[in-house]
Amino acid sequence: MLMQTHEARLSALREELKRRELDGFIVPISDEHMSEYVGSYAQRIGWLTGFGGSAGSAIVLQHKAAMFVDGRYTIQVRDQVDGNLYEYQSTLETDHAKWLIANCEQGMRIGYDAWLHSRGWASALLAALGKKGVELVATDGNPIDAVWDDQPAPSPEPATVHPEEFAGKSSAEKRAEIADWLKAEELDSAVISALDSVAWLLNIRGADVDRTPVALSYLIAHSDGTAELFIAPEKVTPELEQHLGNAVTIRDRAEFTSGLKNMAGKTVAVDPDFGVAAIYQALEEGGATTVAMRDPAIMPKAIKNSVEQQGHRDAQARDGAAVTKFLHWLSHAPSKGGQTELSAVAKLREFRDETGVLKDQSFDTISASGPNGALCHYRVDEDSNRDIEPGSVFLCDSGGQYLDGTTDITRTVWIAGDGENAEPNAEVRDRYTRVLKGHIQIARVIFPQGTNGGQLDALARQYLWEAGVDYAHGTGHGVGSFLAVHEGPQRIAKPSGGQPGTSQELFAGMILSNEPGYYKAGEFGIRIENLVLVKEQEIDGMEGIYLGFENLTWVPMARNMLDMSLLTTEEKQWWNDYHATTREILAPQLEGDVLAWLEDACKPI
């Protein structure tokens, strides 16, 4: 029935394209803000194809269609998307232009929604298709919206004020810094379209995107320190108006396009990564001069102030106690039977809720038993839900949203059974220990100012490479402060593959994840993830500025999955030091059987 539903939806889209005299249409996972995670109203690719990942795209022609995903979703896309309807394409091997050139004929018209793609993407594709005589057409409205009968409406939830006690700096101070930047760059204004940048700059939050506390809105910041906020009227409360004050003009979100067209004669910065093609078009049609420059809120948002740093420490300590309660539960409940991936998700949420201050999860929990763990961005549902079976590897990647910080942690454990299933086999121990060794290398590294994440990535992979294996995701991503769990521009990842952020210099105050992994298709997955804070280091005789990482996440790791023969004396000392600190931070928050479990889990090796 599900496949028939998606087949019917594909047919309906093709009929709509015919009505518009289009031969094809490109469907991204995106919204008008180029967000990674989008509201339910913008989940067009999931509705059309069944794909549930956070990155990917589809192209629909009248005679064929294709799904494009990266290495994280190679297995998942085949499980969720009907191969009879869509052929599978790797973004590392085939891009949109190559596929369209190979499958289109001269004179065909391919549609795209200019509110869902960057101008750079549109310009490059327009040039590539033009060489074959294929026309790229910006559609009037999205054709999927025309055939999606029960499409959810955008969230009506009000925007809320994020207190300065958690933000560490007032919105007025932040806007003044942006104004100084605009004047220094001889710019009149900047369009801020990334939702987390608007939230950070104005010290507001919202509930319009699941797991990310942002409000659907746009901001135009001006060089005199004033700004215009475009937001749906139902989201505006008296408290919000008072918070923003007279320097921020509140306008209806529906007026955004006309507001852009009214900037004649102005020189306006637009971030090429977050400013969609339609924003550039509206500005230029209105007579403004556009300058492609990075969103000026990106870097100050990424470099956390002292209040935000302390907030993260507090949130991680609180969250670590909740995750430890969950690991204690995992140590005995599954062996009694009846526990599933979904029941584990519910139990972990229950422990986080017990803190009394959890606002939301920071992303959908990856609760993966056995072979599902090999899907590195797996998301459990009723159809995929597996029992958590004794004698198997269980991977759980999860996080919480708290007013003082955003958490993200992965622990992989062995679900003990009887007899030969009591302990992990040699292969599991080997892979777990190699992942741990890479994790330790990142945790301990010291590097000179000017180093970027791409230069650190191989440290995490070297021990897996020695065994002839690797993992198809980055080693680390930036994390926000009660904002997006994936926050740029910093990243630790391979420099290849077109991924952004690997060339971004790391600065003190940035927060990243440290999460090497290993995935054996059809059998198990392993990942160990902590969050770390970039900090300046003091080294006797050092020449220049040197940086390293302060660990933020404190939760026990799986001692029974270690292959001790692979660990050096220094690595064993790191393990012991880490667990001694974990015990020190978590023990005051725990009691009874959970405290006893923690004490045992933190014993030195």
pLDDT digits (tens, 9 = 90+) for 528-573: 999 999 999 999 999 999 999 999 999 999 999 999 999 999 999 9
Helices 171-184 and 195-202 cross at an angle (nearest 10°) of: 110
Residue 442 sits in a domain whose CATH number is 3.90.230.10
> Domain for residue 153, yes or no?
no
CATH of the domain at 169: 3.40.350.10
- Which structure tokens are listed for 459? 């440290």
331/563 Cα distance (integer angstroms): 20
Mean pLDDT of the chain: 95
Task: Indicate whether 174 and 312 sit together in one domain.
Answer: no
367 and 270 in a common domain? no
Contact (Cβ atoms closer than 8 angstroms) between residue 563 and residue 434: no
Return the structure tokens found at 238: 């008296």
Whether residue 567 is contained in a domain is answered as yes
In a domain, 152, yes or no: no
Claim to verify: residue 263 and residue 323 sit in the same structural domain: no
Residue 3 has pLDDT above 60, yes or no: no
Single residue among 249, 283, 301 that ends a domain in this structure: 301
Domain boundary among 83, 115, 147: 147
Last-in-domain residue among 282, 301, 320: 301
What span, in angstroms and rounded, lies between the C-alpha atoms of 604 and 514? 22
Residues 6+ apart with CB under 8 A from 95: 68
The answer as to whether 61 is a domain residue is yes
As a whole number, mean pLDDT of residues 384-392 equals 95
Does a structural domain hold residue 155? no
Is there a domain that residue 472 lies in? yes
180, 47: one domain: no
Pair 14, 80 in one domain: yes
Confirm whether pTM is higher than 0.95.
no
Residue 284 and residue 195 share a domain: yes
Query: What total number of domains does the chain contain?
Result: 3
pLDDT range class, residue 2, cuts 50, 70, 90:
very low
Is 197 found in the same domain as 93? no
User: Is 498 a domain residue?
Assistant: yes
Q: Residue 349: CB partners within 8 Å, gap ≥ 6?
A: 361, 365
Average pLDDT rounded to a whole number, residues 481-485: 98
Q: Are residues 532 and 407 in the same domain?
A: yes
Residues 456 and 580 in one domain: yes
pLDDT for 349 beyond 90:
yes
Instruction: Specify whether 519 is located in the same domain as 376.
Output: yes
Average pLDDT over residues 43-69: 94
* Domain ranges, residue 113: 2-147
Q: Which of 67-71, 115-119, 354-358, 476-480 has the lowest mean pLDDT?
A: 67-71
Are 535 and 572 within one domain?
yes
128/170 same-domain check: no
* Residue 544 in domain: yes
CA 521 to chain centre: 23
Place of tokens 């506390």: 213
